């Protein structure tokens, strides 16, 4: 290590002598210095012990000559040349208001507005001052027609509500009538099954029995008369009359008995069973009729409820439309929410349109068209459109130097506040730079262009990162 240090020191000394004009002396000294003895010719033990000068010269020659014969050592000893600093990376930007306010009708019902008065482009405005005033003639006529439509809709809804109330009451009566018919059929069926059927059987049996008794009574009376005739209790003429009548009574009783037997047999075998089927059919049919009536009533009620609800909704929409028109009527005059400068139209990423504004008295605009933008020149930021290859340059927190295209002497320092990682168009990325306006700055206005200079990365910077 000490030897290397001596070599470097000797090289530096030689360079100093050359720069001072002693090159000839150094060169002469260099030529008179003897070469160090070779170890292969004579061993060190054979050297005279008193020859110190030769030994010292050899040592001196080795110390001075070696750096001249070693180009690598001479290159290491030369001072490092200063590396040239790369040029900064320049990116374009636009001064914009931190919080611009768009002025537009912002109406849904009113599709078109005619400008009656508008503040000039670039004019200064104060908070609460009218920016634009529209002609109110069209919207006033629209509101008047809406009021008429609203009254008609209210009358129609009132009639529908009355009809719906009548329908509900009538439905309740119909429901009760259907229930009565079903209950009546059920009661008739129960009466027949529980009482009338047995009663009809007993009636048929009793009629047969009564006819049989009548026949027996008539026959017994005839027998008694014949017995009396045998005992001569009556005259011959009276005998014939009485016997004739008695025989007729027996014949009538016999005939009625035969008829009663037929009727009784028919009632027991046909009429009563058929009556049972009739009652069961009537009961089943009345139940079906009741279910159908209830279903029809429910369906009709639901249909009428939907219809009345539709009318109510239509009226409510008409009412909302009228209310919205009245609210939109208030947009006839739009005021500025802040102190600032008026810029006609909408700003696109802080820039005005390439075409001049044509907004003036008589111009018609849509309900959602931006008529003007109010910008505050006292609170500015810079909007930047970054190419994809500049994302690594303008990172969040990265400092930059700002210059203005309008004022070449303007200089400010800024810092990247935000960078979007999703492009807003193609390979363009949105970024915002915040900065502090210098106290002696000229009148920088929103929409003015500027340039941002970012420090280019070097190899040392990359290593540090």
Distance from the Cα of residue 93 to its chain's centroid:
35
Region 207-226: mean pLDDT is 82
Residues 353, 343: Cα–Cα separation, whole Å: 10
Burial 99-135 (b: 16+ CB within 10 A, else e): ebeebbbebebbeebebeebbeeeeebeeeeebbbbb
Q: With 70 as the cut, is the pLDDT of residue 423 above it?
A: yes
Greater model confidence, 222 or 14: 222
Q: Which residues does 373 contact at the CB level (< 8 Å), separation at least 6?
A: 100, 101, 102, 103, 342, 343, 345, 346, 347
Region 383-394: mean pLDDT is 94
pLDDT at 335 (0 to 100): 96
Greater model confidence, 65 or 314: 314
Lowest mean pLDDT among 49-58, 71-80, 258-267: 49-58
Domain boundaries, the chain: 140-329
Q: For the segment 95-119, what is each residue's pLDDT rounded down to a tens digit? A: 999 999 999 999 999 999 999 999 9
Q: With 90 as the cut, is the pLDDT of residue 144 above it?
A: yes
Region 80-90: mean pLDDT is 74
CB of 372 within 8 A of CB of 103? yes
pLDDT at 162 (0 to 100): 95
Residues 101, 34: Cα–Cα separation, whole Å: 91
Instruction: Retrieve residue 159's tokens.
Output: 């009639």
pLDDT at 247 (0 to 100): 80
pLDDT at 432 (0 to 100): 97
Greater model confidence, 8 or 95: 95
Residues 320, 322: Cα–Cα separation, whole Å: 5
Which pLDDT band holds residue 464 (cuts at 50, 70, 90)? low
How far apart, in Å, are the Cα atoms of 279 and each of 194, 201, 267, 272, 433?
A: 12, 16, 16, 11, 96
Q: With 50 as the cut, is the pLDDT of residue 372 above it?
A: yes
CB of 187 within 8 A of CB of 283? no
pLDDT at 227 (0 to 100): 75
Region 35-46: mean pLDDT is 40
pLDDT at 352 (0 to 100): 92
Greater model confidence, 8 or 28: 8
Identify the CATH number of the domain defined by range 140-329: 1.10.287
Which pLDDT band holds residue 463 (cuts at 50, 70, 90)? low
pLDDT at 210 (0 to 100): 85
Q: With 50 as the cut, is the pLDDT of residue 33 above it?
A: no
Is 0.75 topped by the overall pTM?
no
Own/partner pairs, 170-176, CB within 8 angstroms, 24+ separation:
171/297, 171/300, 171/301, 174/293, 174/297, 175/293, 175/294, 175/297
Residues 324, 143: Cα–Cα separation, whole Å: 10
Q: How many alpha carbons lie under 13 Å from residue 271 in its C-beta half-sphere? A: 15
Q: With 50 as the cut, is the pLDDT of residue 367 above it?
A: yes
pLDDT at 460 (0 to 100): 56
pLDDT at 32 (0 to 100): 37
Lowest mean pLDDT among 56-70, 172-186, 273-287, 400-414: 56-70
Which pLDDT band holds residue 79 (cuts at 50, 70, 90)? very low
Which pLDDT band holds residue 401 (cuts at 50, 70, 90)? very high
Which pLDDT band holds residue 268 (cuts at 50, 70, 90)? confident
Kindly calculate the radius of gyration of the chain based on its CA atoms and give it in whole angstroms. Answer: 64
pLDDT at 422 (0 to 100): 95
Region 398-409: mean pLDDT is 94
């Amino acid at each position: 290590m000490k030897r290397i240090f001596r070599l470097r020191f000797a090289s530096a000394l030689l360079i100093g002598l050359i720069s001072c004009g002693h090159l000839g002396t150094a060169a002469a000294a260099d030529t008179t210095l003897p070469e160090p003895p070779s170890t292969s010719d004579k061993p060190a033990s054979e050297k005279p012990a008193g020859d110190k000068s030769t030994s010292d010269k050899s040592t001196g020659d080795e110390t001075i000559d070696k750096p001249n014969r070693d180009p690598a050592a001479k290159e290491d000893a030369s001072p490092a040349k200063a590396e040239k600093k790369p040029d900064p990376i320049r990116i374009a930007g636009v001064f914009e208001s931190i919080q611009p306010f768009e002025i537009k009708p912002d109406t849904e019902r009113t599709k078109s507005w005619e400008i009656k008065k508008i503040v000039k482009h670039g004019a200064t405005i104060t908070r609460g001052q009218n920016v634009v005033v529209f002609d109110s003639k069209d919207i006033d006529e629209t509101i008047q027609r809406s009021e008429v439509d609203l009254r008609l809709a209210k009358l129609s809804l009132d009639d529908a509500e009355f009809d719906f109330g009548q329908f509900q009451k009538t439905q309740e009566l119909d429901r009760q009538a259907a229930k009565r018919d079903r209950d009546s059929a059920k009661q008739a069926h129960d009466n027949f099954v529980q009482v009338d059927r047995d009663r009809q059987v007993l009636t048929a049996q009793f009629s047969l029995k009564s006819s049989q008794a009548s026949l027996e009574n008539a026959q017994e009376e005839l027998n008694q008369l014949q017995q009396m005739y045998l005992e001569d209790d009556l005259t011959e003429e009276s005998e014939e009359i009485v016997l004739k009548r008695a025989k007729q009574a027996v014949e009538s009783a016999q005939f009625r008995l035969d008829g009663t037997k037929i009727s009784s047999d028919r009632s027991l075998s046909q009429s009563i069973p058929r009556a049972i089927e009739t009652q069961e059919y009537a009961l089943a049919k009345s139940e079906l009729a009741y279910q159908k009536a209830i279903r029809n009533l429910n369906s009709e009620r639901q249909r009428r409820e939907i219809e009345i609800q539709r009318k109510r909704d239509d009226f409510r929409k008409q009412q909302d439309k009228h209310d919205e028109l009245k609210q939109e009527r208030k947009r006839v005059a739009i005021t500025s929410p802040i102190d600032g400068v008026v810029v006609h139209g909408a700003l696109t990423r802080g820039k005005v349109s390439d075409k001049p504004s044509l907004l003036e008295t008589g111009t018609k605009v849509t309900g959602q068209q931006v008529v003007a933008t109010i910008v505050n020149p006292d609170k500015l930021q810079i909007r930047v459109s970054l190419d994809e290859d500049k994302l690594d340059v303008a990172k969040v927190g990265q400092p930059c130097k700002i210059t203005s295209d309008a004022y070449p002497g303007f200089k400010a320092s800024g810092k990247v506040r935000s960078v979007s990682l999703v492009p807003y168009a193609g390979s363009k990325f949105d970024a915002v730079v915040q900065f502090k306006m210098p106290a002696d700055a000229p009148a920088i206005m929103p929409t003015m262009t500027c340039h941002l200079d970012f420090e280019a990365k070097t190899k040392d910077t990359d290593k540090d990162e």
